[in-house]
Chain A
Amino acid sequence: MADEVIRLDQITKIYPLLSGDVVALDNVSLSIQNGEFVAIIGPSGSGKSTLLNQLGCLDVPTSGDIFIGGKSITRMNDYELTRLRLMTIGFIFQKFNLLPLLSAYENVEYPYTLKYRKKDTTGRVSKLLSLVGIHEDLARHKPNELSGGQQQRVAIARALVNNPKILLCDEPTGNLDSKTGILVMSILKRLNKKGKTLIIVTHDPAIAAQADRIITIRDGRIAEDGS
């Protein structure tokens, strides 16, 4: 299991509500290898997003254990979890989630600055931006001056800046037209080919079909797991 990047060990997530507890994830066990391209699909309310939050260290399970790169996250405090998100995980969201105050370039540079405590002088930010097809002039613009496809490409560059092992994508093409969606998917697949572990949560069967492995979640459980 030397190549295992993520392992979920019988995790359960329960949200206590006044009307009764809601079991969002029910005894889920899962192992994801380095360099895999995994699609997580399932109907609304099936627990996909909860699973993604667990994988992204944004939340911890009620019971069970999660190992990222061999380390258990359930025993980590907020500081360590935040550090892990910064170093190991690249997030790509459906709504792009770029910081409106910063330019495209600064958005990509931001996690780098958090990690290295200095501005990028290596040219990495510019290189990543040109990799996703955002040229220098465009990089000076604020997110609200860019198209959806451009914003998502900036978001991909941002996710890559600290060279994370895992790319977590939540409906990455959900807010894009089909042509731009194909472009974004081709970038993501290219990254996967270069060795990044790619996990995509999606409704879209066409996106899921491109993955090496499809995990179907239903009622908080893994209903299917196969290629």
Chain B
Amino acid sequence: MTHDIIVAMAVRNVKINLLRSILAAIGITIGIISIACMGMLGSNMTASVTESLSAMADKLIVSPYSGKGGGGGPPGMSSGTDNLTKSQYKQIVKIASKYGYVYGVHSIRAKVKKGKDEWNTQVYGLEVSVMKTILNNLTSGGYPSSDNSVLIGAQFAEDNDLKVGSRFTVGGSGVKVSGIVESRGMSMDVNTDNAVIMTKTMYESSFGAKDEYNQVNVVLNDINDADTVTDDIDSQMNRREETVRVQDSSRMVSMISSSVTTITSFATLIASISLLVAAVSIFNIMMMSVTERIREIGILRSIGTQKREILRMFVYEATLIGILGATLGMILSLIMGYFFIHIMIGNTKYFFTYGSLIHLPYAMAVGLIICILSGLYPAWRGAQMDPIEALRAE
């Protein structure tokens, strides 16, 4: 094959100038490592964040409409002044119960006293059956069997040195810890880590608001129903005026995920500058290679080598350098990316997933294409040379 001799000559030339070719390839390698690592870090971070947030992604939170601005503090932390009426609650149950589990939440910030210490903390009032369903992860103890026993969050227990059986007062009433809820992280529905969770009956006798919840949470069976339920509640309850507000937690999760993606894409963009530097170096080396071999080009042309074969020879050279750099880049990206992500994120659970590893061939392809593109102009210059002029060169 004529291709063979052209390829063979390209390979030999790369070998003759091995150090130069390797240095150029290293440029590509560095570029590939930076974009592959950034890409992998991004997808691992997104996966990790999504996982930690997805626990709350299947929830809808219905709260009373608090007027202009639509604000009213973070969800699950309402002040207890705005409540949903009993009929509103019933209506929400009627609309949403076919899509998932619906429960009402009482919440208030109340004074807690232990010994001489006194501070404010979040207090929730939930039916015991709701506790069993929603807070099904106790680190110790059990669910309240009487009205004056409560669950407390893991952080709350640790901070205040409380154990199962410990006693303290909430809003003036003495309570006993019956169980400790495992840490759940930040969530939109109920944030129990730093809270006291009492029975609905005790909450209502301490803080009033009988059957008037601060918020109603819907745990969807199917996350894809979120829009349907939101629309149903909106159309049936906010027809004449805004009475309730529905927050779809999956939207927040996707917002956070997309923010992470944006940040890492930006980082990848910055990393790709190193590929640009590599491209300049390949360009330079290919120009040198063409200039050094003007006479050889003259000989090749005079004995019957076509322009496009000269072009191909130089493009093959650039491609070879690219393949060398890209292969090295891929191997190093795999190793460095693994450790990099281990250090940055703390785990490599998502490292060997499609979304993460796809950045390797992607970065390789970008590196290779850039390499070939930078070799194209020098190759074209070589091919366009006048054979007589080229033969005269020393």
Contacts and interface: CB of A to CB of B under 8 A. Distances in A.
- Nearest 7 CB-CB pairings of A with B: A86-B304, A97-B299, A101-B12, A85-B304, A117-B2, A113-B5, A82-B306
A87 interface: yes
Contact of B1 (A87, A97, A100, A117): A117
Interface string A103-120: 000100111011101110
B360 to A, nearest CB: 34
Contacts of A100: 296
A119 B8 CA distance: 13
A138 interface: no
B247 to A, nearest CB: 70
B306 A79 contact: yes
Contact of B300 (A58, A99, A117): A99
Contacts of A47: none
Given A99-B296, A100-B296, A119-B4, A110 B303 contact: yes
Nearest to B300: A99
Interface residues of A, number: 31
Contacts of B391: 58, 93, 97
Contacts of A102: 9, 12
B100 interface: no
B146 interface: no
- Judged by DSSP, the binding face of B is helix
Contacts of B300: 99
A111 B303 contact: yes
B16 A101 contact: yes
B254 interface: no
A78 B299 CA distance: 16
24 contacts: A53-B388, A58-B302, A58-B388, A59-B388, A78-B307, A79-B306, A82-B306, A83-B304, A86-B304, A91-B302, A97-B295, A99-B296, A100-B296, A101-B12, A101-B296, A102-B9, A109-B5, A113-B2, A114-B2, A114-B304, A117-B1, A118-B1, A158-B303, A162-B304
A162 B2 CA distance: 15
A110 B2 CA distance: 9
Contact of A110 (B5, B16, B298, B388): B5
Given A58-B302, A114-B309, 5 more contacts: A79-B306, A99-B299, A106-B5, A111-B303, A118-B1
B281 interface: no
Contacts of A59: 388
B305 interface: yes
A223 B370 CA distance: 57
B169 interface: no
A82 B305 CA distance: 7
Contacts of B9: 99, 101-102
Interface in B288-315: 295-296, 298-307, 309
Interface in A43-80: 53, 56, 58-59, 78-79
B308 to A, nearest CB: 9
Identify the interface centre among B4, B298, B388: most chain A CB within 10 Å of its CB: B388
A86 B307 contact: no
A100 to B, nearest CB: 7
Given A101-B9, A101-B12, A87 B304 contact: yes
